[in-house]
Chain A
């Protein structure tokens, strides 16, 4: 909503300090989005006096003028000298006063005025039309000023063009503020000042009654609660007077012609959208009466709006039709509340006007605008709601103004269909409850003043508390104290109950609490003391799950991974190109209205997003990538509204941990770096019975076979880890190798133990014995460890694998040598070497037997 301060000043006093004014608006709920000072674009344009007008020697339609611009141009002697300006307009004579753009002026359209030769004659400036000044559409000739216009005065000053236009954000609950009248009332309430309409316009109606010329019927009053039609005959459509142009321009519209400008002017001034139809274009019955019908559009009906666009309608859209069954079918002439039609628009040849002032349902208007992507000043107002009570009087004001600016006469009366007039509703306002709700003792006088200034009728309903010595419950009147008040506290409250009737232009005020807001915002939120709730029984806690999830992130960061976030959206083919299969029960959640096809489903794995980030880093010269994300994945649930959501934690590793340093070697990250990260995480969560079970190409096609494992806790799978298949990397434009893992948070939390049990710290010395075993490649490290552990029993403290060695010549092809340190220890005594030796020999025998190990050294 654009508000011209110049216009507003004619309605209500406003401070001269615009910054203080906009601040006051901001702090009372009318947000200021922008402040613009106009008139600045007319710098360099002054009042000129045409001294001579001679025909151009080389062009028929041009004139050579000399123009006095006062001291803006001086001759060699320093005294004012007229300018020679070549001019193409025809509507002037020598002696006229006109606006002149001096050399160097930047015109409102951005063009700079330069010295030029036009057909061989020098021209030093430009004589301007109204349109060239941005003051209207008239470009037929120069803007002829009053003969008494003072030569040389800046045109902005002369035309009083200087204005400050404030752009306000009007919240959807405030239809009343979509007009200058509403803003003036609001400003009046803020400063506790009176406001007026300013400009007068009295209606003098003559001639035949309007009801002879037009009939109105409404099919469904829910769509159109009120429709008024007035007839103005014999108008002369033409340019608007300067004041009208100025005001509709300041409000953000273009000046079209005097009739359309009046409809826009009244909409801006009073908030009542109007539509002027060319009466001659409407279908009439035999008696010459036009029939206006408001009804649902037909399904698939086509209609061309004022902007020349043909639109397809449906029955949810309301239309205005010029005809009914009796008068012939008629055709659609307007989209109700949104835009008129091309066929019936007011043109230069229009003589008789049918003026519509109506109210249309906000829901239908809003849906129509959204559906057709057609938003107009009218629809913006109808969407919020237009006051039905004032249609008729506002239409009268519009008709009077039309006659004033376009001549003609207004027909007697108005055709007004208003089946269910708006009835104002009376509300109670409990002052003590209000004070308790807000937390400040705002006096009842202030409350009354504010409500009255906003247009409410206020009366006192009750004011005396019952005298009593008993403590009393306060539920009904105040919620300041939850339990019981002492008699003195109770009596200290203001027990006044006000009876408040909001005006019809405030449909948002339907409940007591709505009035609270009105008083609070005008009285001033900044005046309310800041306190903290004193309530009992609150505990700032996180659930165990929330704590665990925090631990997951902390553990991964401690292992060197950086947390990231990626899109929860994905492309439908992400999992296919990754070769990460999902079974039929794990369908993707599809978006009905995605931003683009790359983001048209919800992700089922975090990996594609992370892989894109790996590629992003690699493409930007960052080779070392260590990322994790903890987030949601989504699966459609057949037969259910809401899909299934699961939390996953996923990580990717590429490159090295860091570049080689003076004292560190850079080692390429591989499967075991990822495995180490996962092991550290599982340890932090106290998860026991951890196993890494090799996954083959069929089980995990997105991973490189031989470097892929399921992460298990007992028989429960927690997730997977592996080096991504090189073709999966290629598909996402990432460079292999990339190590990745993805674990299910719910499974991690289920397997996590609250704490590990305490074990005695060893008190007796241990004996370490090393062994090297040569086994077939197919024998896994964990199986060797299992043989050792079961053979050695509880005297074995730990086993540590410290070397893996392959040498076809020395130990044979297809073989590997594993070197292990076995630590023996008893909890209750020092072991003897004999004891350990015999146990160790048993372990070695078992190793040979169980896994065919050849014992070396």
Chain B
């Protein structure tokens, strides 16, 4: 067999083996046995020295052609087998995607804190700053400077928690003290009016206390958000527009508000605000006790007497104040059946929000 014939036979054998290789590993064996250092074609090339010079060009060309053919076949077969193997692996890797994902601990925000943030964001968007204050206040900031009459029933031991006064001062009212757990965050408003430049657009969220026995609809401590605006040219219409915006943001754009005249010592005129019932849309149902409305907050134009305590001229400035109970909003939005759940720390409750 001439060398050229041998090359031809090698090519045929190699191509057949390539075609027969069942997987990439077998194919690699073929490649090594033909093209590797000790491969058969490599051996032929090594034998080129023994080829007579006049045949070298022809043999060399034949070897190169063969090698190219084999390499092309190897590549082609390699791609084919690799694709088949990838397909097989992908098929084998398929999982039941409905199996639960690997758990990561992730916490939740308390319903009241979440709602507080939501409400704060609504007002921050229309230019209100957030102001904090202490939870234990003096009688002056909680009541007197807010125009509450000295004998107002809310000042009584029945309604307000008093704490032991360590200053040695005599209490103004018998059995009570001048230091108390704040019943509203309005004291923050008084501090702000005393300390800040006008105009004032503030929101005071925080924990407040009233002497109620804890039951499904009462808690001795709860969360209130009060707002205060003092500026030139503030109108009752501005109060309406602001709270209407607030209710639509928190409860939904299709909800309506209505203002019912009311009485609060620190505002004049004063109103209570109802939002239309989200369950019946205002037609009247069990949730809204047939009225179509749900009471949501109290508000009014700041009483001139309050300005008097902080030295603002009511002839030049006007303003409004409002207060909303976050627990009340929670009840209306989520229908929480028992407010005490908010303070129990039951994981099954907290994890819902």
Contact = CB atoms under 8 A, between A and B. Distances in A.
A514 B200 CA distance: 24
Given A174-B263, A370-B158, A525-B259, A641 B345 contact: no
Contacts of A438: 235-237
B233 A482 contact: yes
Contacts of A658: 103, 105
A439 B161 contact: no
A782 interface: no
Closest 3 CB pairs of A and B: A560-B105, A613-B345, A439-B237
A696 interface: no
Contacts of B123: 540
Interface stretch (A107-115, A566-574, A719-727, A797-805): A566-574
5 contacts: A538-B127, A592-B176, A593-B161, A658-B103, A661-B102
A602 B161 CA distance: 11
B2 interface: no
B207 A533 contact: no
Contact of B259 (A362, A526, A632): A526
B162 interface: yes
B242 A532 contact: yes
Given A29-B260, A553-B109, A566-B343, A592 B238 contact: no
A132 to B, nearest CB: 33
A370 B232 CA distance: 42
- Identify which of B109, B162, B163, B348 gathers the most chain A CB atoms within 10 Å of its CB: B163
Contact of A567 (B221, B304, B348): B221
A643 B164 CA distance: 10
Contact of B242 (A27, A533, A546, A566): A533
A539 B176 contact: no
- Identify which of B162, B221, B350 gathers the most chain A CB atoms within 10 Å of its CB: B350
B238 A531 contact: yes
B281 interface: no
B117 to A, nearest CB: 8
B193 interface: no
B26 interface: no
Where chain A touches its partner, the secondary structure class is loop
B167 interface: yes
Contact of B105 (A29, A476, A530, A657): A657
Interface string B96-127: 00011011111111101100010000011111
A173 B263 contact: yes
Given A366-B151, A535-B233, A592-B176, A558 B262 contact: no
A482 B181 CA distance: 38
Contacts of A439: 235-238
B238 A590 contact: no
A520 B107 contact: no
Nearest to A373: B158
Interface in A354-408: 362-363, 366-367, 370
A363 B343 contact: no
A479 B346 contact: no
Contact of B236 (A437, A481, A546, A628): A437
Interface residues of B, number: 103
A595 B213 contact: yes
Nearest to A658: B103
B99 A26 contact: no
Contacts of B107: 556-563, 626, 628
Contact of B163 (A171, A366, A589, A627): A589
A563 B352 CA distance: 12
Nearest to A599: B220
Contacts of A628: 107
Contact of A613 (B106, B156, B162, B344): B344
Interface of B: 99-100, 102-110, 112-113, 117, 123-130, 132, 134-138, 149-153, 156-158, 161-169, 174-179, 181, 199, 201, 207, 209, 211, 213-214, 220-221, 229, 231-238, 240-242, 244-245, 258-263, 268-272, 301, 303-304, 314-318, 342-348, 350-351
Contact of B201 (A538, A562, A622, A624): A538
- Identify which of B237, B240, B242, B348 gathers the most chain A CB atoms within 10 Å of its CB: B237
A482 B313 CA distance: 13
B112 A367 contact: no
A813 interface: no
B345 A564 contact: yes
A514 B108 CA distance: 47
A366 B237 CA distance: 36
A437 B244 CA distance: 19
B161 A531 contact: no
A265 interface: no
Given A29-B260, A439-B237, A535 B199 contact: yes
Contact of A591 (B163, B268, B303, B348): B163
Given A553-B109, A640-B166, A535 B231 contact: yes
A778 interface: no
Contacts of A366: 151, 153
B130 A525 contact: no
Given A482-B231, A565-B342, A568-B209, 4 more contacts: A589-B163, A590-B164, A645-B135, A663-B102
Contacts of B241: 530-532
A590 B272 CA distance: 35
B105 A626 contact: yes
Contacts of B347: 562, 617, 622, 624-627
A482 B167 contact: no
A256 to B, nearest CB: 28
A664 B220 contact: no
A476 B345 contact: no
A639 B168 CA distance: 7
A147 interface: no
